[in-house]
Amino acid sequence: EAQVTQNPRYLITVTGKKLTVTCSQNMNHEYMSWYRQDPGLGLRQIYYSMNVEVTDKGDVPEGYKVSRKEKRNFPLILESPSPNQTSLYFCASSFLATGELFFGEGSRLTVL
Amino acid sequence: AQRVTQPEKLLSVFKGAPVELKCNYSYSGSPELFWYVQYSRQRLQLLLRHISRESIKGFTADLNKGETSFHLKKPFAQEEDSAMYYCALETSGSRLTFGEGTQLTVNP
């Protein structure tokens, strides 16, 4: 089944403890992106990647890192999480210039 | 800079009533606009895009460049239309900028 898979789906952690949220897609999409969803603020883009080894900042990149070593994977790294990074995170992918993003199920992160 | 605004965070209508979800955008280039929907317990998914000019699940949206709007409309709302709706603008390099979202509730 064609899909975007994120892990973990739920995570509670403490301030400063490094964590990684993985994202994998099996549709051979060039474009991958991370969003965070917060009440009243909608979806805000954190980072995106247009192909392997090509990544760029979105609208809210502070406190996050990403890498794109393989086409199918696009992990989101929080080196030193803080409570203001408590949010629902979505990974998405698409073919370039189609506008049709395919989303993962979301990862709910709580930083205490 | 590009921006998408959905002025209504919550919208409640009765079944069978018309519904309109508003979306306004600002963008200096030629806009490509989309509506995405998130039903309860489901993934966010594409509902429709302006370039295809199609009707999906009875919904239509017309791009009005003069008013910089892309409102989503349905003449007769159904209970299964209850969901979170996001308007999105595609800018350079496949980037999508989303609005704040509108939670639609269709009451029986």
Single-letter amino acid, residue A64: Y
Place of tokens 């989101």: A76
For residue B93, the model assigns a pLDDT of: 67
B1-5, B52-56, B104-108, range with the lowest pLDDT: B52-56
**Two structure tokens written together for A67:** 């890498």
**Rounded-to-integer distance, Cα A42 and Cα B23, Å:** 13
β-strands B10-14, B102-107: how paired? parallel
Instruction: Report which of B26, B27, B33 is spatially closest to residue B70, judged by C-alpha positions.
Output: B33
pLDDT for res B78: 97
Average pLDDT (B30-42) is 92
Q: What one-character DSSP code corresponds to residue B56?
A: B
Nearest CA in chain B to A92: B44
Amino acid identity at B76: F
Question: Which residues of chain B neighbour A42 with C-beta distances below 8 Å?
Answer: 6, 86, 98-101
The reply to whether A2 touches chain B by the CB within 8 Å rule is no
CA distances from B19 to B6, B60, B76, B80, B85 (A): 14, 11, 7, 13, 12
Mean predicted lDDT score pLDDT of chain B: 92
In angstroms, the CA A58 to CA B86 distance is 18
